[in-house]
Structures are given as C-alpha cells and as structure tokens.
Structure 1
Amino acid sequence: MPRSKPDPKKGIHVKIRLERDVMADAVAWVARTLPNRPAVPILAGLLVRAKGSEVTLSGSDNETTGQITLPAQVDEEGEALVSGKLLADIARSLPAKPVEISADPARMELVCGSARFTLQGLPVEEYPALPEMPAATGTVAAEVFARAVAQVVVAAGRDELLPVFTGVRVEIDGDTLSLLATDRYRMALKEITWNPTTTDLEATALVPAKVLNETARSMTSGEEVTVNLSSGSTGDGLVGFEGTGSSGSRRMTTRLLDGEFPKVRHLMDIKATRSVRVRTDELMAAVRRVALVAERNTSLRMTINEDDIALSAATGDQAQASEAIQAAVTDHVDGDPTITAAGFNPHYLSDALGALDTPYVDFSFTAPGKPCLVTGVNDLEGESEGDYKHVIMLMRLPS
C-alpha cells in the first residue's frame, strides 16, 4: 500500500552526517535485499529516513525487507528515496572521511571530503508500506544462532524450481529451537536451547535458507537475536529477526515458504552396524586433496579397513589419487562387516566436515547404498554430540 503523499509546498528535506565506514556497511547490508530486476521499478529504491538522532535505511523486494538504524547527526528530519544499488556503489568508493547527505524530493547530494555525488530522487509517496514486525517469539544467543544456521544451511537445496527444499524448517518446542534442512541427497539437523516468550510454545516455520543465513551472520555484534514469528501457517506468514550488526541495530522480515516440508527426521535415527571415527581436520584435508582428481558426478571412495580408512578417486585413466588415514573402526554386529566401502559425493562430504566443530567425526554406516549419519565427537572414546546430525545419501560404487 503506497504511503500518503507529502505536502508539495513543504517538500521533504533531509540533512544528516555519518561516518563513512558506518554508512557504507549499512547501505551494503540493506542493498542486499533489493531485487536485481525489480518487477516494480520503485523497489529498486533505498529509503532513507532521518528522525531525532538516528537514520533508518530500508530496502525490500516485496518478499524480504531489511532495515538498519544508525546513530547520526541529524540537522533536518525527513525521508528520501534513491537507487539503492547506486548508493551502495558510491558509499563503498568514498574516502575515509565523514559523509554529509542532504536531499529534497528531486535529488540527493553526498559530500565526502572533496568528492561530491548527486543522485536523482525517487518518489517517496509511491514506495510501498513496509511490513510490520511480527510479535516476539523468543531470543537466542547471537553467536549460537549464527553457528547453528551455518551448520544447517549447507544441506538446503538451491533449485528455485523446488522451493520447499530451499528453506530451513524452524521448529519450536518450549526452550528447544530446531533447525532442519535437506536437498533430498543430504540433511542436517541442529538443536539449540533458546528463551521463548512462553514455556509451552510450539510452532513451525519454513524460512528461506539464503535469507536466514545472511541474517544470522549479520547480527553477531550483539548478545542476542530476537525471533519474531507470525501466526500464519502458510506462505502468507512472516518471520522477523532483530539484532545488532557492526553498524547499528538490524531488522529483517521475510515471507515464509509455502508447501509441506518432507518428513525426514526419521532418517536420522540410524542404528549403526559399523562406525568409523577419525580426526576431523585430517579427513577434511585428505578429502580436499583426493577430490582434486574426482570426475564430475563420480564418487569419492572410502574403503574401511581394520584400523584406517583409504580415500580414493579418479578421472578415468587421466588421474588417480589415494590417501590413508588412521581411524577407529567398530563393528556393532557379529559376523563379517556389513560395509567395507562407501561412496560419497566429495562436495557433500566436505560440507558436512566443515559444519562440525569437534576434533573427531563419527560415521555411522548400516549397509551399502544406505544413508550415513555424520556426527561430531569431542573425545575418540566419548559419545557423539547429539545436538547436530548430518545425513548423507551414499552413492553407488562401481563394481
């Protein structure tokens, strides 16, 4: 809904002063929400609102909205709208000096040292009203939230033709916040403790993974992030996040994805017939080396021996690579081993290992071609960390 038209006699005047680095960081963050090819041209604009001793920058693509509020020297209050991408490019190029911004309905002028830019103003009255932030659902430690999101989004899909797989399912059950993602070939689940507004709270939401990842990474300067979830159960619902970034308080809202997320939690209840434990950093390095010769869409082979594993890959007859790493191998059933080799997508394996924050990794195998559970272990003889689970669908190995 367009905002009311201003009094043409009064006009809109803005006059503010900001530090260059603060402004550049803030404008760049908001500009990420702007559409590359806006269906409505006005959405290419970045809204600047000066009031009191603060400046609020806003941008939206009608699905996701970003707002950042900064302390500033405000000499004249008002609103102005200019091309967000151009403003971001200019802000990034300015010298390291204070920036003076003045604007009227027709243009905006930026002065930084001897550099001076003039941008054409866009009609503020045509800019759509931004969505209201939903009510607060709870808070979570900022660093914990950022780490949890990073561990899960690696398993989210990137095919926009299958939007339900491009989201992260957020599940709230009292003081437990669960994040779950899958692209059908792998899945990741992280459970963290948070502070809900009510102890009996239960809710679910399917949040775009790309937005969630960008939001979580950009709000780590403060102690906590507030999660605001609307009551809508379809794509009309909204989720909002509030936190502190490097240059001010940040607010992000985005529409929830529609569609039913696949029931994949049961696939993580893997009862291992054979497990392998190895140092995480050693395996990550070996995977990177051996994968250099892995042909596209072919597997990286992990051969399981009594006290080590051997990685191997090849590009036909052109190149081959292999490397052995000491491992602790345990059989959980009597008789011959149920699995002696497994085929991994090397990129999926690297992503899973990179998501761990433990010195050791545990692979739980059941049978050839069946899903493999990857978990972190702090001690070679200890229990697997249960708060993070990563499942990879194994690839078929050539006979």
Structure 2
Amino acid sequence: MKLTIGQEHLAAAVGYAARSLPARPPAPVLAGILLDAHEDWLRVSAFDYEVSADTGAPATVTENGRALISGRLLSDIIATIRGDVHLELTGSRMLLRAGSARFTLPTLPLEEYPALPAPGATTGTLAGADLAEAVAQVASAVGKDDTLPLLTGIGLRHDNEAGTLTLHATDRYRFAVRTLAWKDADLPDCTAVIPAKALIDAAKAVADDTTVDIALPTASSGLFTLRGECHTTTIRAMEGELPKYEALFPTEFQHEATVEIAALKAAVQRVALVSTKKESPIKLTFTAEGTLVLEGGTSDDAQAVDNVDTSLEGGELSIAFNPSFLIDGLNALNAERVQFQFTTATKPAVLRGYDSDDQALRYLLMPIRLSG
C-alpha cells in the first residue's frame, strides 16, 4: 500500500472511525483501524462486534493495499501533523510522513480482524440535521445507571401507516419523546432500542448530510444501520423494550403555563446554588398574578427565592422538581418559550416548546413530593 492524502481528509475519516473504538477491546486487533487503499480512495473502518464505522476519503493511491493500525495512536498522530500525508506499507511496518515528521508504526495482524457486518435494507430516509436534532433531544432523558442497561438506550419505533419514526428515552424519572415524519420503505411496523452513546456519535457524524438512510434491526441481523453520504455505521441493538410511554402522557390538563426558557433556566440555576445536593428539589409556584416563584434550600441551611414572569391558565399551582432534570428538559426543547402542562402537583408534568406541534419534543417530568 502506498498513497498520499490530505491531512484534513485523513483526520476526518480517522476521527470518525476512532469514535467507535472500544475503551477496553476484547481482542488486541479490535483496537485497530483498517486502512484499505484502492484506486483513488482510502477506506477507513473500525469494528468491535457491537459497533462498526466505515468511511473514506479521496487519495492519490500508487499501490493498492490494506493495513491495520492502532487506532488511538494513528488518531493522535494525525491530529498533530499538517499538509499532505504519505503512507507506505513496508512488510509489517507502516511509514507515515508529513512535512518534516516521520513515523514508523507497527501493524496488527489482518487475518485476525473480523469482516465488517453487511448493512441492512433501508427502512426509511431522513435529513441528517433532523435526525441529529431528534437524537440529541431525546438523549436528555437517557439513563446513566449501568445496572439498568436497557435504560441507557434510545428507543426507535417505525409506524408504517403514519409514515413516522418515533424516538424515545427514559431513566424512570423523565421521558422524552420526539416523532419525525420520514420517507419510509413501506416495511412493517417495528421497534428497537439502540445504545445511546453510539447512536449520538453516529447521528452527529451525519448531521450535515442532506439525506440519511436508516435500517432498523430485523430478527435475523439485530443490526441498526445509519448510512450517510460518506459514513456508514452499524450498531447492535439491545435486547428488550423500553417502558411504554403512550399511557404516561396525559391528554387533558388542569393547568397550563408559559415561561421564557432563558429567564427560567437562569433562575433555576441561581436558586439551585443553595442546595446541598444536586438532586435537592426546587419548588415552583405558578401564581394567578402572572409570576412564577422559585424556592430552594431548607430552613436549616441556606435558602433562595427568585421569580420570573409567566402566563397561567387554571388555578395557582405549586410543584417541585429536580433542578438538573428540569434544566435538561429546557435545554432539549430548542425553543424560546416552554409550555408547562399539569394535571395535579403530584402527577407528572409535560414540557413542550410553546406553540409546537404533536411531533415536536415532549418531555415528561416526575415531580418530587416535598416534606411538610
């Protein structure tokens, strides 16, 4: 193998593939990035049996060939060099030159490296920006407790009749749901749970692509595929299903309030400063006079009070939330104003962007019962 490639092209390709490298590879070869030079293209890929990343970049190839190089080392080197990069495979060594820098890198055994999985048949097509936004939004509710691994995933549900893909996530204390209309391939309804971290990385990589093809897992493969204009990612789906969310979201409300998100976030952050624990609740009182009063702390410790303007429909209401969970939801809405929808102070509240449609993000947040 012998080729010349621009540093920016190589850095982008290696950086994409390196995201899927395992922190603790089950086999030494799985810490490698596969370089496959053919004609005027360098294919760059990585695979750890759970996630595969496959991309490429234009290159001036004088000798076709393949090599497996330590991914972390190659990524670190590419980040520090500039100009054209010259790669030449000599026996079991890869020679890398860029400017005045010279590196001689050992290769890993190609014969031990597994073949990349074949991407599945396309279930539907989305704009890359829409997918990236939706994934980032529902990720706000993904669980972080590794003892409940299924809750660290994002659920996907294809509805053939409606022509939609619904993304959802929960950690048992909040639920985020976002629906996207998509160009589907008229395949049967199906659901899957995809590891959130891998899905977030894959969606970010295709955020600038005009169209992205998605293949949801089937009974035979169990693989989720995301195929962009230059990148292809496969992710092994998780076993099981996330809790059903349809019945959790109320359809009728006794109180509704609208608040400017920037002002509310700032007030929540100020009031939360007096809390001795991050999860200590703050109390929100929506008054009939158009003021939202925020209170934090206890009588034995520091206390804080702040207020912001609100518009309220229905009677006065007091409710308490985990401030971190509340801010996560406000950040995820991507709107200027949030609409709170309540049934009672002890039932979950729904947060959504003001004047948003039914397919926009809905964030269900459990209240915290205050002592006394």
The aligned residue for residue 358 of structure 2 is 386
C-alpha separation between the residues in 2 aligned to 1:354 and 1:346?
12
Equivalent of 2:223 in 212, 227, 238: 238
C-alpha separation between the residues in 1 aligned to 2:305 and 2:172?
29
The letter for the 1-side match of 2:7 is R
Contact 1:80 / 1:105 at 8 angstroms: preserved in 2? Answer: no
Q: Is the counterpart of residue 310 in structure 1 residue 293 in structure 2?
A: yes
The 5 A counterparts of 1:256-295 are 256-295=237-276
Q: Is the counterpart of residue 340 in structure 1 residue 345 in structure 2?
A: no
C-alpha separation between the residues in 1 aligned to 2:351 and 2:251?
10
C-alpha separation between the residues in 1 aligned to 2:309 and 2:357?
21
The letter for the 2-side match of 1:358 is A
Distance 1:346 1:270, change over 3 A: farther
Aligned-partner SS, 1:157: coil
> Which digits, 9 at most, give the CA deviation of each residue in 1:143-175, with x for residues without a partner?
111111111111111222212111111111122
Contact 2:19 / 2:201 at 8 angstroms: preserved in 1? Answer: no
The 5 A counterparts of 1:68-147 are 68-94=55-81, 96-147=82-133
The aligned residue for residue 236 of structure 2 is 255
Equivalent of 1:217 in 204, 218, 222: 204
Segments of 5+ residues of structure 2 without an aligned counterpart are none
The aligned residue for residue 166 of structure 2 is 178
Contact 1:293 / 1:313 at 8 angstroms: preserved in 2? Answer: yes
Aligned-partner SS, 1:70: strand
The 5 A counterparts of 1:4-23 are 14-23=1-10
The letter for the 1-side match of 2:249 is M
TM-score (normalised: structure 2): 0.94
Contact 2:169 / 2:242 at 8 angstroms: preserved in 1? Answer: no
The aligned residue for residue 25 of structure 2 is 38
Aligned-partner SS, 2:25: coil
Please report the RMSD computed on the Cα atoms of aligned residues, expressed in angstroms: 1.6
The letter for the 2-side match of 1:394 is P
C-alpha separation between the residues in 2 aligned to 1:278 and 1:397?
23
Task: Give 1:27 shift.
Answer: 1.1
Contact 2:139 / 2:196 at 8 angstroms: preserved in 1? Answer: yes
Aligned-partner SS, 2:353: strand
The letter for the 2-side match of 1:101 is L
Distance 1:270 1:185, change over 3 A: farther
Task: Give 1:60 shift.
Answer: 1.4
Aligned-partner SS, 1:134: coil
C-alpha separation between the residues in 2 aligned to 1:209 and 1:91?
28
Distance 1:316 1:270, change over 3 A: farther
Contact 1:49 / 1:56 at 8 angstroms: preserved in 2? Answer: yes
The aligned residue for residue 381 of structure 1 is none
The letter for the 2-side match of 1:152 is V
Task: Give 1:99 shift.
Answer: 0.7
Task: Give 1:309 shift.
Answer: 0.5
The aligned residue for residue 307 of structure 2 is 324
C-alpha separation between the residues in 1 aligned to 2:231 and 2:255?
47
4+ residue segments displaced more than 6 Å: none
Contact 2:142 / 2:171 at 8 angstroms: preserved in 1? Answer: yes
Contact 1:220 / 1:243 at 8 angstroms: preserved in 2? Answer: no
C-alpha separation between the residues in 2 aligned to 1:16 and 1:305?
69
TM-score (normalised: structure 1): 0.88
Contact 2:192 / 2:241 at 8 angstroms: preserved in 1? Answer: no
C-alpha separation between the residues in 2 aligned to 1:105 and 1:148?
47
Equivalent of 1:366 in 343, 360, 370: 343
Equivalent of 2:280 in 298, 318, 333: 298
The letter for the 2-side match of 1:46 is I
The letter for the 1-side match of 2:261 is T
The letter for the 1-side match of 2:147 is L
Equivalent of 1:352 in 323, 326, 329: 329
Aligned-partner SS, 1:214: helix
**Aligned length, in residue pairs:** 367
Contact 2:192 / 2:217 at 8 angstroms: preserved in 1? Answer: no
Task: Give 1:325 shift.
Answer: 0.7
Q: Percent identity?
A: 38
